[in-house]
A and B are shown apart, each in its own frame.
Chain A
Amino acid sequence: MTVKLSNVSKRYGKDFSLKNVSLAFETGKIYGLLGPNGSGKSTTLKLIAGLVYPNGGKVEVDNEEVTRKICRKVAYLTELDMFYPSFTVGEMVEFYVSQFADFDPKKAEQLLQEMKLDPGKKIKQLSKGNRGRLKLVLALSRKSQVLLLDEPFSGLDPMVRDSIVKSLLSYINFDEQTVIIATHEIDEIEPLLDEAIVIFYGDIIGQKNVETLREEEGLSVLEWFKSTAAQMEGKK
């Protein structure tokens, strides 16, 4: 399973969210899509999930051009609230079971227990942290080939972030899944990453293997990101 973006551009009116971007994501790797707010990270994930369409270029998942239907292969955790507030946690899981053939209810049950989420509780009564946990339960319970996580730590306290990182390590299928995490909070995901990609206002300005970066250049992902972004700021 490969996710491929070939010369992809996405415009919103006159503003470019992505400019002629080409990227390839391989199976069995965890990618970090890093960049400041508004740099095009979320748009990249939405393009892969088939929720927005490119103005130019092609987005493919497993050699299939992406449309809305690609969500059968792609699990997507959005930064937005994706729930129906009147539903209970259990009803939301039940809805996902009915919609996605690859959704594993046993895994969901296990995750709910681990994350201490009560299936009978109404979603509108959940705290922001617990809503974040529920989003993760819904995304991780799918046996999808591609897992997209958009700002999984947004607005969450350090305790919750920690538990999310642990869940990711426990529940990602490292042999079969391609995982792409878009975030500007690099510290938390650094231990997870195989590859780091810096996106800067629509342009890809760097891509590094995290191990190589540490061993050969002696830099952490955060340090490399900061220096790369600073260079770009200097050029601007």
Chain B
Amino acid sequence: MSAFQGLLKKDFGISKFWFLLWIIFLAVFLIIPLAIEIYFHMPLTVIPVAVILLLGFHIFFLPAMLLSMLRLEGKTQLWLYNQQSSKALFLSKITVSLVYQLITQVFLTGVGLMIYQYYKNQIHIKAADLFNGITVVNAGIALLGLYLSCWAMFYWTIYHSLGKFPGVKNWRWLVIVLLFIAYNMLSTFLARIEFLKEVVNKWNIPVFMNANGKFRQGGWEIYLKAVDLPVLEFVLYVIVALSLFLISCWLLDRKVEV
């Protein structure tokens, strides 16, 4: 077993309880709307909403799972007594969280497809549109989850780096809040500058993700429209995420202490 495989096995081991808990939560959150639909004889009313909500909520699942693992390690920080690079230590946790996320996304997509299969006569959508929609939504959720995880990792390392300064130790959370506000103010300010807006929107790629539906002949007709995704904005997000990841690794190697 390689060192990274060892890290993966360890991270699966320390997080499986929370994953099982999440699966139980998903099951409960799906069974309750199903029961309501059956009880009130209102098919296809609540459960699609529940599936969409749960799937959407997955943008927070990956960072939450990552933070739950980091919280456990942060109790002693003895996970740093390890010759693997900080990148490997973090990547192992991200990989494990992503695997969990993909499993639950596939599960929820499966539930969604079962609903579609059951009510196929009432929902008309082209197979290609259905496939595109599922792919884009799931990829988008996973990517957004990864992006937010980089922020979670960054804030976590800042918080623990400040732990060695007794003067700031009790106010670390305030530093995190101030950093969060400062970044959001700066990005909002930059987004309002016309010149930057023009540059960012210069190159676009069409992505099929805008769903439109019409109720026709006793059923829903759904089709997807392409939305322009600014390439530069996407690249910027990737750069921000990579920078946050590298800063977090640097802090973990040099500033976080046991």
Contact = CB atoms under 8 A, between A and B. Distances in A.
B257 A52 contact: yes
Contacts of B76: 78, 80-82
Interface in B212-258: 253-254, 257-258
Interface string A75-102: 0101011101011000100110111100
Contact of B167 (A13, A49, A69, A98): A13
A99 B82 contact: yes
Contacts of B6: 94-95, 97-99
* B contact face: mostly helix, strand, loop, or mixed: helix
Contacts of B13: 84, 86-87, 91
B120 interface: no
A13 B84 CA distance: 30
A44 to B, nearest CB: 13
B87 interface: no
B81 A51 contact: yes
Contacts of A53: 254, 257
Contacts of A95: 6, 9-10
Interface in B159-173: 164-167
A99 B3 contact: yes
B165 A51 contact: no
B187 interface: no
Contacts of A46: 257-258
Which residue, of A68, A86, A87, has the highest number of chain B Cβ atoms within 10 A?
Answer: A68
Contact of B166 (A13, A71, A98, A99): A13
Nearest to B258: A51
B250 to A, nearest CB: 12
B2 interface: yes
B113 to A, nearest CB: 35
Contacts of A87: 10, 13
A67 interface: yes
A6 B254 CA distance: 20
A77 B224 CA distance: 60
Contact of A80 (B14, B72, B78, B165): B78
A72 interface: yes
Given A67-B253, A99-B84, A13 B9 contact: no
B83 A99 contact: yes
B212 to A, nearest CB: 48
B257 A98 contact: no
Contact of B3 (A12, A67, A69, A98): A98
B232 to A, nearest CB: 37
Contacts of B42: none
Contacts of A97: 1, 6
Interface string B76-91: 1110111110100000
Contacts of B77: 51
B5 interface: yes
B80 A100 contact: no
Contact of A98 (B2, B72, B81, B86): B2
Contacts of B7: 98-99
Contacts of A99: 3, 6-7, 82-84
A62 B14 CA distance: 35
A65 B3 CA distance: 24
B258 A86 contact: no
Contacts of A91: 13
B17 interface: yes
Contacts of A94: 1, 6, 9
B207 to A, nearest CB: 41
Contacts of A98: 1-3, 5-7, 9
Interface in B1-45: 1-3, 5-7, 9-10, 13-14, 17
11 contacts: A49-B81, A71-B81, A71-B82, A78-B78, A84-B10, A86-B17, A87-B13, A98-B2, A98-B3, A98-B5, A98-B7
Q: Which 4 residue pairs spanning A and B have beta carbons closest together?
A: A98-B6, A13-B166, A51-B258, A72-B83
Interface of B: 1-3, 5-7, 9-10, 13-14, 17, 72, 76-78, 80-84, 86, 164-167, 253-254, 257-258
